[in-house]
Structure 1
């Protein structure tokens, strides 16, 4: 099985995993043969990457740390609750109709159970398999990252629940922002940017009095853009003034945002985003949190097609647990782009002069 950008798909390829719609129903089943019209439709719907069946990589078994059932349940709950706020356009109307604490508490339990059952597994997340807009998918991704980091850190079950809720709902305040601004293509004006920054305050107000919602979770929404040196917002607090949960979310939020296509900019390559995080250590983020993130996230997921610094092209077949940023790659094409007669594997943890220089058609995958 192989993970490739949807724009690199060609008619005749067969899906390696199901594609689900926003309601959790199967849109395209496993082994469905792709046609030109299906490929275009997936691109239009925002599916950046898909798994395809491939004889050169049919031995790669990809088990997600979060099951499809959990993923669909979580995205469905986020979509329902967030859209209710958008449509209600007032805190009072929202509160009379919905109680988020219980609904999202059940979602966090499912996520924690999935992560616990796959203890020691590397987190591999990309925009694939489920059709959803950025806000919904990003919220789930950040929740998975943060909850996993909390588990590694050794937080209690109650602490993990609070962290997970805060992470899943960290951007809920964006439901109160004009969606034309959120979806705008190109740079935001100073006035638009000032409005977007208010989402932290809106999020806190939405969550602080919500039944069954820990106040710390509300503070995660409030503080996830605060930074170690006081350069963040909304209050410009720094260091120990920022709650620990918000610091974990800040790292996960920044990484996922940088590696995901946005209307106003292209996504960074995973290793570039990791370099940006480390460049911000001490000023924007805590070193131990960025280091723990690096050590537990597979920035190059299994099955991903990558280009090595030698010019060879191959597929990630195994993750090195001790150095996940240097996986084992099965080379399928030489530097001239010609398919090799016999695929061979390169362990980047041993070949230290060789590194991943690109992800196949990354820039094309992020242009719609």
Structure 2
């Protein structure tokens, strides 16, 4: 972010100097912001003739770089897990299938609590899928996603093929396919933390369900309130320069629907697009953990080499844009202080408290977000 992005801009890669170095907007080749509404027809599908006349969609250097890092994150995660945890996963899977389940101290202590019945999860799954199918059928004119596409999104989370030239359907598919997977992983992380903290599983389950249902109402009511109270909400061309209500996350989500749904990846990253070479990031991501693994094998006495976690390093850019590279400064400071120093001088503390520290930092961020809003911005 601090070296390659400015260097790419200076070298004018992909006509970088025609556009801002950092922006989540989409641009025409001449540097003007792309008028997305001009390339859609009455059904909100891509008008190919108008698109061919207007020219291709262009990204800022920062936006293009983050997509490359996102591609690399996919391959780096698979290769890293295979190299560093493949044998453990295979052994645990084989033991589980063979009925030889070895319990650690945490699992033994958690046996004191009633587990969450599987049918609780299945009920939530069935109810959600039924609601998804109803929404896709009843509001098909707006959502544009057929029920088969909804089922595909529910069934395929890790590997999915996005529908083309229908941006609204693309957003629905992304919500059902990717975001549902991301939230499931978050819930699993909560359960893991609760496992170490000896929180009863049923209490954890109810906290998650109640929190999720409550959040739906809070988000919806807040959105209605903002749209009614703030004129030109999210419209950067109409808002005053110092107005904070620019909705950067929603703009990124919209631009992603244009790239992957309306225009289509073939016209951006494929043979018809301007950014085909970014696909080499998949190969770079696959090679990165191999280099770390080889260094670890060559210098077994240097335990710190194994701690170079390439999926975390590359995945740290997942929220960019709208987040900026300034996020790295606090991360590097805390990561170096708590990680390297503690592991180097107090490895017993590191092994005992690193996961608790991670949970504490996450919880602290959430509390401080609410506190700062109420105290300084409300």
- What TM-score, normalized to structure 1? 0.25
Query: Would you tell me which structure has more helix in proportion to its own residues?
Result: 2
- What TM-score, normalized to structure 2? 0.24
